[in-house]
Amino acid sequence: MPLPRRATLLPAILLALTLTAACGSGGGDDGGGSAEGRATGGISFQTWNLRANFKEFFEGLIRDFRQRNPEVKVKWLDQPADNYADKLSADAAAGTLPDVVNVSPDLAYPLAKAGLLMNLDQEPAAARFKGEYTAESWQGNTLPGLRGCYAFPWYLNTGPLFYNKRLFKESGLDPQRPPRSYAELFTMADTMARRSGGKVATLGGIPSIEDFGRYGVPLMNADATAFTYNEAKGVELVARYQELYRSGGLDPQALTNTPDKVGQRFLEQKVAMNPGSAHDLANFRKNAPSLYRNLGITDAPNNNGKPNMYVMGLAVNAHSGHKAAAVAFAHFITDRGNQEAFAHRVAVFPSTKGSLEDPYWTKDDGTDEGRVRVASARMLKGAVNYTPVVMSDEMKTILRNEIAKALQGEKSPRQALDDAVERSNKLLKRG
């Protein structure tokens, strides 16, 4: 199943064409398409690459919903992970966007901006459920410049940061006290590079937009029409990474390292810290037992006390012919019981209030999965989705390439970020 990922923004002109003709694929109308009143009619429900592994689970949920709402028929659609954004674009253009659709905030944004998704905060029939979800998850589906939440919060995810306690100890650092802030991270990285004679780097990759967010850099203006990460604090972050690259605190292969390559460097114990998941623990146990015995788990350093999280939601088509049924179904799938049941089947976390206080997410059961699950669940309190919903893969590549030029000394940190912002803002204006 996919984690939320960036998608190519749907062209504004394409979406505008759908506004005059868009309707839910269920057809018909219950009370003028009102979200109030009894749930009736046929609705379509689209997920993102879930049928292969969870067919029985979702078919069971649909049966349960229909037992409670016998006047509603649900047609379940599931799309593969590849080209999911393109599929949404095609549905939007054809006026066949499903009544209830699985989206991450970046996928929801262009649809909501074009008026195709229901603003839950402005629809009383949906807004009454707001208190059932955590504040972080509701905010995670609230889109900048659009003044509202556009999807019922569904599952959340975050990842722990692994660190090598042995490498910390050999550098004279306390293995029980990993860095919490970026200042601590940079100090420890300098120490480790110096005391290892440049043989061990603390970090394996250059900073991403998430690092800018955790560092406390304002990423965009309030209405998400322009990037702002080239302000003084952003320049400061890149300058500090530039120093790390020169001193050996950053892996010498960092400019070309992919996430997989960074993971391999961590497994080889050439890098002291790296994000990961429960699946990595099994790999470490088998292929790097000495690393596994000395593995620490923490959250990524940040300067504002708010870890990063990934968000999934269920949006309701604003032009559905059966809004009451669509709202009822989206809420049913994302209610506390059903979210917890789903999260027990796969390594995700429920977004419903009180769920993460359950012992399943608070007490380590001694398994690798439990160890990571408890550590990750703890991080979700106060977490935010740092990656701007309007930031495309092309924009992320631009940022990465400009940072690489700064680390190599081809540009100053200021010039690199100014150039990245200028190019990305031009792409943003083109839509």
Q: What span, in angstroms and rounded, lies between the C-alpha atoms of 268 and 374?
A: 26
Whether residue 248 contacts residue 201, with contact meaning beta carbons closer than 8 Å, is answered with: yes
CA angle 411, 263, 173 (to 5 degrees): 80
pLDDT given at position 347: 85
Q: What letter does residue 346 receive in the DSSP assignment?
A: S
Kindly state the average pLDDT of the residues 340-364: 95
The 10s digit of each residue's pLDDT in 198-237 is: 999 999 999 999 999 999 999 999 888 999 999 999 999 9
Which of 176, 200, 185 shows the shortest CA–CA distance to 302? 185
Token duo for residue 169? 């100890």
Place of tokens 């998704």: 117
Sign for the CA dihedral angle at 398, 404, 218, 356 comes to positive
The two counts, helices (H) then strands (E), for the chain are 19, 10
CB count in 10 Å sphere of residue 14 = 15
Q: What are the residues facing 230 on neighbouring strands?
A: none
Q: Which 3 state secondary structure label does DSSP give 384?
A: strand
Q: What letter does residue 9 receive in the DSSP assignment?
A: P
pLDDT given at position 362: 96
Q: Does 1 score more than 60 pLDDT?
A: no
One-letter amino acid at 210 equals E
Whether residue 254 contacts residue 205, with contact meaning beta carbons closer than 8 Å, is answered with: yes
Which of 98, 41, 28 shows the shortest CA–CA distance to 72? 41
Q: Does 425 score more than 70 pLDDT?
A: yes
Token duo for residue 346? 């796969």
Instruction: Label residue 348 by pLDDT band (50, 70, 90).
Output: very high
CB count in 10 Å sphere of residue 355 = 20
The 10s digit of each residue's pLDDT in 124-183 is: 999 999 999 999 999 999 998 898 999 999 999 988 899 999 999 999 999 999 999 999
Kindly state the average pLDDT of the residues 326-351: 96
pLDDT given at position 25: 52
Share of the chain above pLDDT 70, in %: 92
Q: Does 280 score more than 70 pLDDT?
A: yes
Q: Does 32 score more than 80 pLDDT?
A: no
Report the CATH superfamily, name and number, of domain 12-158+309-378.
Periplasmic binding protein-like II (3.40.190.10)
pLDDT given at position 37: 81
pLDDT given at position 207: 96
In three-state form (DSSP H/G/I as H, E/B as E, the rest C), the secondary structure along 285-304 is HHHCHHHHHCEEEECCCCCC
pLDDT given at position 10: 40
Q: What letter does residue 10 receive in the DSSP assignment?
A: P
Name the strand (E) or helix (H) holding 313: strand 310-316
Kindly state the average pLDDT of the residues 413-428: 97
The 10s digit of each residue's pLDDT in 368-403 is: 889 889 989 998 988 999 999 999 889 999 999 999
- What pTM was estimated for this model as a whole? 0.85
Q: Give ranges for CATH 3.40.190.10 in the chain.
A: 12-158+309-378, 161-306+386-430
Tell me the average pLDDT of the chain: 90
pLDDT given at position 369: 85
One-letter amino acid at 3 equals L
User: Could you give the angle at which helices 323-333 and 51-68 cross, rounded to 10 degrees?
Assistant: 120
The 10s digit of each residue's pLDDT in 39-71 is: 899 999 999 999 999 999 999 999 999 999 999
Fold of 161-306+386-430: D-Maltodextrin-Binding Protein; domain 2 (3.40.190)
